[in-house]
Amino acid sequence: MSEPALVVHGLRKSFGAKEAVAGIDLEIAAGSLSGLVGPNGAGKTTSLSMMTGLLRPDAGQVLVNGLDVWADPPAAKAVIGVVPAEARLFERLSGEEMLEYAGRLRGLPAAEVRSRATQLLDVLDLTADAKRLVADYSTGMRKKTMLGCALIHNPAMLFLDEPLEGVDPVSADVIRRLLTRFAGSGSTVLFSSHVMELVEQVCDHVSIISKGRIVKTGTMQEVRGGKTLQQAFIDLVGPRASNEEGLTWLGSSSS
């Protein structure tokens, strides 16, 4: 196994009495495309926020390419790219201006930023809309723009929180192909999702998080254990009790 690109030790976070992340230990190999899956409220977003320096943990350590995110934030920030769950973009910039702004904030030369922005807009199928305001973009276009902003400085590690939530199939395919290509070049991707099929298709590694703890982690084959990821996930996290007896009227089409 190659050197880990991400090492997480004892990461914890509580909000008042609620323990959102209850001590996470995780290692992600460099060059892998890894998924972090879990039900809603399992602690995925909180964990990713702490791994990327956006939320101060109560305890624990996060190393990206050996750089401590919380002891040396400037060094760690230089090697990571982040796509948050909600596309957080400047609405009154055009897509082209948005990418250029993201690149220039990262200290890239203007000519280089312009060249990379043009290529990213092309790959992300946004060239025709490059001069439209982000405010008028659809969800899929926003996600793709956000991905472009996260990639423009060519980070060694990319974090994505629910990257395909609310995205149409065509845009989803563009994002999926770009992530695969990015990981194939030796960079590392960790993304959270609760869509098992997507993770199963794209990822080579997967970690399952439930109630703020990693309950299983490893290669896709190891975690699946001969079942589908969906079944393995439900076996680990436990099915929710349901009571459908009250829906006797449903499907009668009488009224």
* Cβ 24 vs Cβ 209: under 8 Å: yes
Among 206, 170, 161, 209, which residue's Cα sits nearest to residue 45? 161
In sequence order, the β-bridge partners of residue 141 are none
Which one of residues 84, 140, 148, 212 is an interface residue with other proteins (CB under 8 A)? 84
Instruction: Enumerate residues 52-71 that contact other proteins by CB under 8 A.
Output: 52-56
Say which DSSP state 123 is in: H
Integer angstrom CA distances of residue 139 from 148, 163, 168? 14, 11, 8
Specify the length of the chain in residues.
255
154: left (phi over 0), alpha (psi -120 to 50) or beta: left
**Any contact of residue 120 with other proteins (CB under 8 A)?**
no
Contact pattern from residue 130 through residue 169 relative to other proteins, giving x for each residue in contact according to CB under 8 A and a dash for the rest = -xxx-xx------------x--------------------
CB of 124 to other proteins, least distance (A): 16
Q: Which stretch binds other proteins (CB under 8 A): 89-97, 163-171, 177-185, 196-204?
A: 89-97
**Any contact of residue 227 with other proteins (CB under 8 A)?**
no
CB of 131 to other proteins, least distance (A): 5
Contact pattern from residue 15 through residue 54 relative to other proteins, giving x for each residue in contact according to CB under 8 A and a dash for the rest = -------------------------------------xxx
Q: How many CB atoms lie within 10 A of CB 242?
A: 6
Which one of residues 32, 46, 65, 94 is an interface residue with other proteins (CB under 8 A)? 94
Q: Rounded CA gap, 236 and 170, in Å?
A: 32
Q: Which stretch binds other proteins (CB under 8 A): 5-13, 110-118, 192-200, 221-229?
A: 110-118
Q: Exposure pattern of 21-46 as b/e (b: 16+ CB <10 Å)?
A: beebebbbbbbbbbbbbbbeebbbbb
Dig out the tokens for 226 from the structure: 């001969």
Q: Rounded CA gap, 76 and 67, in Å?
A: 5
Which one of residues 97, 125, 168, 204 is an interface residue with other proteins (CB under 8 A)? 97
Count of residues that bind other proteins according to CB under 8 A? 39
Say which DSSP state 246 is in: T
* Cβ 103 vs Cβ 152: under 8 Å: yes
- Which residue, 108 or 167, has its beta carbon nearer to other proteins? 108
**Any contact of residue 92 with other proteins (CB under 8 A)?**
yes
- Which residue, 161 or 200, has its beta carbon nearer to other proteins? 161
Q: How far is CA 161 from the centre of its chain?
A: 3
**Any contact of residue 8 with other proteins (CB under 8 A)?**
no
Residues of this chain that interact with other proteins (CB under 8 A) are 52-56, 73-74, 77-78, 80, 82, 84, 86, 88-94, 96-97, 100-102, 104-107, 110, 113-114, 117, 131-133, 135-136, 149
